[in-house]
A and B are shown apart, each in its own frame.
Chain A
């Protein structure tokens, strides 16, 4: 105890933590306010809003899993090369050769879990009517974040480059060829012509743009890799900031008015 006391008296400690041990209201408020990670929280919350039986903590778990995915994902990026010649073998090495090789497992199971928790978060928000005014806009941001979660999971599904991966993504992206007007097997696509030259073909429709080819191939792997590791996380990150900020601005965790 004495050692701890001495430690907290040092200049280094005091330069990091601008408050005393938070056992009184003032320092508890400062603990939240003077910490960049915690200051997204308000100082006080509704008592009904901290009950686990009310919030289910699913939004919090989803965010936590996003952090887990980011950390394990970065570690995986050190080993994984998104090129057809290497991708599968790198996966195999991650599984069999890499020391402490559970990063891929953590990443995959965390991703599955995140899909579930984000659905459950939405279920709770709906059942408590928390999308109602003034939170309409934040519900919308949440819906987009849910779609991004699914897209993150889907783009990541391709990266192991095994049979499971390419065929699941083939089944999924085959839908795009049936997009009305923009897919070459979609209703109305045949109407878009220049004279008698069709504009929408297997080599120019949305599916081609998505895959970078007419089948799931090397270009698709690179595209999905960039989408998975950079593009979608970046958008999700921005939207998450908006989502959390709006929770505060719209009156915190919902409660009876």
Chain B
């Protein structure tokens, strides 16, 4: 028992926003790199067994149970399980298909795609069966667990923490790093617009209608990084690990409202003028924020052409000018989140451009 407590304390001590994100990225990289290995049935089954054991052991902890068993948090557990299973399924097929393509053989899907079967019964029966199974599962869930109903609405009493619905908690977590106009308005708009742009900027004609990784590694890696790391895992972080005052708490840590996190975040302008040049901040706002503007303009205006001549050369040739620039800018916007996170953690950087007078903070 004592030993278990020690492990839990160690894990709580180990986990923070930085390590959580770092582990996510490392795990993500490993998932892509070792897809041929971990998708093999014995390995996948062992990993599954291991996570079930860890989960069940964690459920013996009262604090862990409090968070996991909140009625509105149960869908997140369901989501994590189904994503785990479906990623295994997808990566398994990708690994098999990539091997088949390499040998010049038809993919699993191609073997059957010429053959047509009657919709009744082959498709309609399975649709019907799934509908029945979903109904049963939903009924069971509804009977077992009551929908939450808290105290009547009271505008005078703000709960701490105040959280958005769980599916928006990735966005709420972004608020730690970006101001609401970016995290709450511009980025969501770009996520939607970016998703809509995907079919028009992906010029790779391969991999249409079957699972493959090797034929489209960039598209799959970027999409999965966005979905798994920047969306799903941030939801998990925001729901399970953020407590009062949006402080970070480990899985087994008590949500202490008095937990203190000392933060002294500094703007780029202060770094530039005070620390590096040893001068007071200039009165003129534009002069004061000149270094920040330079960084932002360099990032969005100069990086795309530089990338077009180096790592993205092939994309530029395939896509043409407009498509390439849309793609590169969307890519840079997506990268802006992990970059700002890293800058915050490494240098306590608050704003790159900080003009609170006009609510214009980047």
Is chain B found bound to chain A in the same assembly? yes
A192 within 8 A of B: no
Shortest Cβ distance from residue A45 to the other chain B in the assembled complex, whole angstroms: 6
A165 to B123, CA, bound (A): 40
Measured CB to CB, the nearest residue on chain B to A57 is B130
A109 touching B118, Cβ below 8 Å: no
B207 within 8 A of A: yes
A–B complex contacts, Cβ < 8 Å, 22 sampled: A38-B124, A41-B123, A44-B118, A48-B111, A61-B134, A105-B147, A106-B139, A112-B74, A112-B75, A126-B220, A131-B198, A131-B202, A132-B208, A139-B196, A162-B149, A166-B155, A172-B168, A175-B185, A186-B181, A187-B181, A190-B358, A256-B106
A179 to B360, CA, bound (A): 11
Measured CB to CB, the nearest residue on chain A to B94 is A127
A236 within 8 A of B: no
A217 to B198, CA, bound (A): 39
Contact string against B for A residues 181-213, beta-carbon threshold 8 Å, 1 for contact and 0 otherwise: 001011111100000000000000000000000
B153 within 8 A of A: yes
Given the interface pairs A57-B127, A135-B199, A187-B358, the reply to whether A48 lies near B152 with Cβ below 8 Å is: no
**A residues near B89, Cβ cutoff 8 Å:** 53, 56
A102 touching B116, Cβ below 8 Å: no
Contact string against A for B residues 195-238, beta-carbon threshold 8 Å, 1 for contact and 0 otherwise: 11011101001111111100010011001000100000000000
B208 touching A102, Cβ below 8 Å: no
Interface size on B, residues (CB 8 A): 95
A177 within 8 A of B: yes
Interface SS of chain B: helix, strand, loop or mixed?
helix
Contact of B185 among A128, A168, A176 (CB under 8 A): A176
Measured CB to CB, the nearest residue on chain B to A60 is B127
The CB with the most chain A CB atoms within 10 A, among B126, B216, B220, is that of B126
**B residues near A157, Cβ cutoff 8 Å:** 165
A105 touching B185, Cβ below 8 Å: no
B131 within 8 A of A: yes
B167 within 8 A of A: yes
A245 within 8 A of B: no
Contact of B359 among A43, A115, A189 (CB under 8 A): A189
**A residues near B86, Cβ cutoff 8 Å:** 56, 120, 123-124
A216 touching B164, Cβ below 8 Å: no
A107 to B139, CA, bound (A): 10
Given the interface pairs A50-B123, A160-B149, the reply to whether A129 lies near B142 with Cβ below 8 Å is: no
Shortest Cβ distance from residue B117 to the other chain A in the assembled complex, whole angstroms: 5
**A residues near B116, Cβ cutoff 8 Å:** 44-47
Interface residues in B133-167 by Cβ distance below 8 A to A read: 134-135, 138-139, 141-143, 145-155, 157-159, 162-167
B153 touching A161, Cβ below 8 Å: yes
